[in-house]
Structure 1
Amino acid sequence: MEWIESFTTATKGIAKALDIGLEMVYVGKNNAKERVKKITGLIKEKQLSHAWEDDNVWFFWNRLESMLYSKTQHGKTIENDAIKQEVMAMLAYDGSENGWAVFFTGSDEMVRANGDKVLSSMESFDEWEKLAKQMGFIPALRKQLEGITDDHHCTRLILPENSGGIPGRVQCAECGRPMEMYFMYRCCVE
């Protein structure tokens, strides 16, 4: 919750400084219903941003899994399909314990990053504010994020059993290197 508050405060400050419209929504996690309900309640209580109800959270993550399944069935790979690459990155964020953020303007511009990286960028906005005013928020944020090296990270992509096949090669959403494959069994009691 602390990350959400820090991120929301910093991001709203940037939107105000740049005089841009900004909508935020908390989409939760795929398999952490009680935790998501608790966080959603706190977000609404503190009026930090919008937060989706359980059904919409489920539909969001289920749609991403369906897109991955469809792309895999059609023989798409991360090398030849940018959408599959982005879907896998989003699913990897769901598998992590950290926050994450995606910023976009329609289908034109998009930038995404893990929580630590994006919060660090938001909190150091004074370093790239001039650039944001020149080239726009998303391109400037992308440039800022590219300048942050993340020497230590552990990215997990958890695919459901019924995902329609395991992709042969999976690229890390953070650094682009090939990920190692493991089998994982999980019991998450909330």
Structure 2
Amino acid sequence: MFHTKINKQADLATLEIQKLLSYKNESGWAVLSKGSSLVVAGHGISILKVIEDFDKWKGQVREKGFEFCFTTYHAKIRLTPCCRLDIPGSTGKVPETMNCPDCNRSMETFISYKCCHIDGPNVHH
């Protein structure tokens, strides 16, 4: 997914997948769809907040529709934490630059290391 889009503008599906991948590093993620159409995808915390606050926006649902009201309220309360994408070194060619799937700004590059203690006695996957 990453190396095939290095020199091409990312399509909408790729951007949404990158967003979901970045959310896994934070509070998890949630997706609301209607059939095969995406209504909203977001951080787990902000989607949960929309559901918890249903009483605050439910009065508009009959007039404007559930999807519209849900996405409007989500846009109003959503958090904008940093977006982080982890690209495993085993994927092959890593892009020199990558734009943020949320705001399209150029992302900073960081190198991190990971050990999962695969051969240890208390292995958790």
On whether the aligned pair clears a TM of 0.5, the verdict is yes
Mapping of residues 1-190 of structure 1, within 5 Å:
68-69=1-2, 71-72=4-5, 75-78=7-10, 81-94=11-24, 96-148=25-77, 150=79, 153-167=81-95, 168-173=97-102, 177-189=105-117, 190=124
Q: Which runs of 5+ in 2 are unaligned?
A: 118-123
- Report which of the two structures shows the higher radius of gyration computed on alpha carbons: 2
User: What SS is found at the alignment partner of 2:55?
Assistant: helix
Name whichever structure is richer in helix by fraction. Answer: 1
Ranges in structure 1 where 5+ consecutive residues have no aligned partner: 1-67
Tell which has more relative contact order, 1 or 2 (C-alpha 8 A, sep 6+): 2
Q: Percent identity?
A: 30
- The Cα offsets for residues 87-129 of structure 1, whole Å up to 9 and x where unpaired, read as 11111122x1412200111233420110221111111111111
CA contact (8 A) 1:77 1:84 kept: no
Q: In the TM superposition, what whole-angstrom CA distance separates every residue of 1:140-183 from its partner, at most 9, and x where no partner exists?
A: 211111112536x233211122334334223153x554321111
- Runs of 4+ off more than 4 Å: none
CA-atom RMSD in angstroms: 2.4
TM-score between both structures, scaled by the size of structure 2? 0.75
Report the CA distance shift for 1:148/1:178 in structure 2 as closer, same or farther (over 3 A): farther
TM-score (normalised: structure 1): 0.52
How many residue pairs were aligned?
117
The question of whether the paired residues in 1 share the 8 Å contact of 2:31 and 2:38 is answered with: no
Partner Cα separation in structure 1 for residue 100 and residue 2 of structure 2: 16
Give the letter aligned to residue 108 of structure 2: E
